[in-house]
């Protein structure tokens, strides 16, 4: 899988506040003009002051400067939401489009290798585009409000900020899913140590199938 | 207002076609699972959360949107509250009288009030309208007024 140009596809979503911009998670440009996918919990389904943050400093082929917090914000609005699969499609006023080939979890087998591209820790203000590779550990059905949907277990630790990260099949860069979080009994949130939920410190990441994104655009 | 009177008289298929197909498919599953309980289905949409998954977004613990609050705003919209006057005018003056357009305007206006995207609450608006059971608009507005009247207890002597 080529890493060149991923900085023109994967960005952070943020919200403008009186104190500046709060980065909320990762999003990525789809193959329809101006449309981006992220997790619906990243935006909380709230349009107010939502932006896509473009830093110009996230090229994976160079050293990304951790002291450089400069960038542009582009107003975004929520175009479609599927709260069951935790997917949100954002729209910005642009003709920009990616050449992503959107597949789904049916296109990959357990043990196959995938690449994850996103912004771990962006919720703490760290806007560093990061590539991780791992393998599919399991194909699972996860329930939400009585509906079961196709998901993957990825054998990798992910962190806050990575929700909305695209997952590519390494052999041909086909999009197969999107990170939505990690396994935690009851959804976690019980204990916090220094802002970290110990329930999430493991290598069982949950990703939703991108087949549901195709149905929304 | 004729358009609003008509929309609450619409049948389920008409209203379902006013939202995106993937949303309508979800609502149909909810209705099947709940034996056509519109209000429980609305709660299922609003409270949906992926089971046993810690979310890695930056806004944890944001206030939930409650169905009762949406119903309150729907009442204001349908029963003539001044706050939604401009939006009702928009519907009345538009040449587009489709359910899709009317539900879209209502959802966007109510969503703005409660801090949610119109596309997120549109399915709930559809379910709440269906829950009215094609009651006449005036009768429903009167009924809502009656149920909210304060009960004054007699003074103790």
What torsion, rounded to 10 degrees, do the Cα atoms A143, A144, A146, A152 define? -20
The second-level CATH assignment, the architecture, of A105-214 is Beta Barrel (2.40)
Q: What is the pLDDT of residues B74-99, one digit of tens each?
A: 999 999 999 999 999 999 999 999 99
Question: Among B50, B53, B117, whose Cβ lies nearest the Cβ of A81?
Answer: B117
Interface confidence, given as ipTM, is 0.93
Q: How many CB atoms lie within 10 A of CB A202?
A: 11
Mean per-residue pLDDT, A73-89: 97
Instruction: For domain A6-91, say whether CATH 2.40.10.10 is its number.
Output: yes
Question: Among B21, B26, B62, whose Cβ lies nearest the Cβ of A147?
Answer: B26
DSSP string, A152-169: EEESS---TT-TT-EEEE
Residue A33: pLDDT above 90?
yes
Give backbone dihedrals phi and psi of A124, rounded to 5 degrees, phi first: -100, 5
Mean per-residue pLDDT, A145-158: 96
Mean per-residue pLDDT, B102-115: 96
Residue A44's Cβ-side half-sphere holds a number of Cα atoms within 13 Å equal to: 20
Query: Could you state, in order of their start, the residue ranges of all structural domains in chain B?
Result: 2-41+65-144
Whether chain A has a CB inside 8 Å of the CB on B115: the answer is: yes
Rounded to a whole number of angstroms, the distance from the CA of A68 to the nearest CA of chain B is: 20
> Greatest CA span in chain A, whole angstroms?
46
pLDDT at position A112, please? 97
Mean pLDDT of chain A: 95
Residue A80: pLDDT above 80?
yes
pLDDT at position A185, please? 87
pLDDT at position B60, please? 74
pLDDT at position B152, please? 65
Residue B150: pLDDT above 70?
no
Residue A79: pLDDT above 90?
yes
Rounded Cα–Cα distance for residues A206 and A201 (Å): 13
Helix (H, G, I), strand (E, B) or coil at A53: strand
Rounded Cα–Cα distance for residues A206 and B16 (Å): 31
At A20, list the tokens: 């500046």
pLDDT at position B58, please? 82
Contact at 8 Å (CB) between A24 and A15?
yes
Rounded to a whole number of angstroms, the distance from the CA of A191 to the nearest CA of chain B is: 12
DSSP string, A190-207: S--BTTB-GGG-SS-EEE
Q: How many CB atoms lie within 10 A of CB A191?
A: 9
Q: What is the pLDDT of residues B14-36, one digit of tens each?
A: 999 999 999 999 999 999 999 99
Q: Describe the crossing of helices B99-114 and B67-78 by its angle, rounded to 10 degrees.
A: 120
Pick the more confident residue, B143 or B59. Answer: B143
DSSP H or E stretch at residue B140? helix B137-148
Question: Among B58, B115, B120, whose Cβ lies nearest the Cβ of A22?
Answer: B58
Mean per-residue pLDDT, A69-97: 95
Rounded Cα–Cα distance for residues A50 and A56 (Å): 19
Q: What is the 3-state secondary structure (H, E, C) of B65-130?
A: CCHHHHHHHHHHHHCCCHHHHHHHHHHHHCCCCCHHHHHHHHHHHHHHHHCCCHHHHHHHHHHHHH
What sign does the dihedral A146-B124-B5-B145 (CA atoms) show? positive
DSSP H or E stretch at residue A212? helix A211-214
Whether chain A has a CB inside 8 Å of the CB on B123: the answer is: no
Rounded Cα–Cα distance for residues B141 and B144 (Å): 5
Helix (H, G, I), strand (E, B) or coil at A110: coil
Chain A residues in contact with B29 (beta carbon < 8 A):
146-147
Query: Could you state, in order of their start, the residue ranges of all structural domains in chain A?
Result: 6-91, 105-214
Rounded to a whole number of angstroms, the distance from the CA of A176 to the nearest CA of chain B is: 18
Rounded Cα–Cα distance for residues A97 and A77 (Å): 17
Residue A207: pLDDT above 90?
yes
10 Å CB burial of residue A179 (0-12, 13-18, 19+) is buried
pLDDT tier at A133, thresholds 50, 70, 90: very high
Rounded Cα–Cα distance for residues A217 and A108 (Å): 22
Q: What percent of chain A has pLDDT over 70?
A: 100
pLDDT at position B157, please? 61
Q: Shortest CA distance to A208 belongs to which of A159, A138, A149? A: A149
Q: What is the pLDDT of residues B23-71, one digit of tens each?
A: 999 999 999 999 999 999 999 999 999 999 989 888 876 778 889 999 9
């Amino acid at each position: 899988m080529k890493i060149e140009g991923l900085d023109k596809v994967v960005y952070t979503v943020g919200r403008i506040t009186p104190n500046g911009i709060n980065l909320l998670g990762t999003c990525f440009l789809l193959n329809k003009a101006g449309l981006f996918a992220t997790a619906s919990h990243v935006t909380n389904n709230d349009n107010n002051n939502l932006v896509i943050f473009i830093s110009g400093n996230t090229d994976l082929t160079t050293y990304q400067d951790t002291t450089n917090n400069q960038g542009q914000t582009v107003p975004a609005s929520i175009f479609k939401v599927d709260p069951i699969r935790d997917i949100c499609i954002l729209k910005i006023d642009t003709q920009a489009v990616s050449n992503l080939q959107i597949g789904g979890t049916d296109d990959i087998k357990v043990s196959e290798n995938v690449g994850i591209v996103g912004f771990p820790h962006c919720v703490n203000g760290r806007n560093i585009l990061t590539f991780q590779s791992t393998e599919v550990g399991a194909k699972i059905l996860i329930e939400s409000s009585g509906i079961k949907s196709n998901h993957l277990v990825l054998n990798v630790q992910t962190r806050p900020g990575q929700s909305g990260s695209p997952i590519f099949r390494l052999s041909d860069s086909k999009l197969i899913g999107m990170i939505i979080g990690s396994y935690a009994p009851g959804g976690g949130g019980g204990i916090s140590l220094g802002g970290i939920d110990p329930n999430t410190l493991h290598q069982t990441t949950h990703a939703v199938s991108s087949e549901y994104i195709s149905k929304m655009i | 207002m004729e358009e609003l009177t008509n929309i609450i008289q619409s049948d389920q298929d008409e209203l379902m076609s006013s939202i995106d197909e993937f949303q309508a498919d979800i609502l149909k599953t909810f209705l099947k699972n709940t034996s056509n309980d519109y209000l429980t289905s609305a709660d299922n949409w609003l409270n949906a959360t992926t089971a046993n998954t810690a979310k890695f977004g930056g806004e944890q613990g944001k206030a939930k949107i409650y169905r009762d609050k949406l119903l309150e705003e729907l009442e204001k919209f349908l029963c003539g509250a001044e706050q939604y006057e401009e939006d009702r005018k928009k519907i009345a003056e538009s040449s587009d009288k489709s359910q899709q357009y009317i539900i879209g305007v209502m959802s966007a206006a109510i969503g703005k009030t409660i801090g949610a995207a119109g596309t997120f609450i549109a399915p709930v608006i559809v379910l709440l309208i269906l829950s009215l059971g094609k009651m006449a608009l005036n009768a429903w507005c009167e009924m809502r007024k009656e149920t909210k009247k304060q009960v004054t207890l007699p003074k103790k002597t």
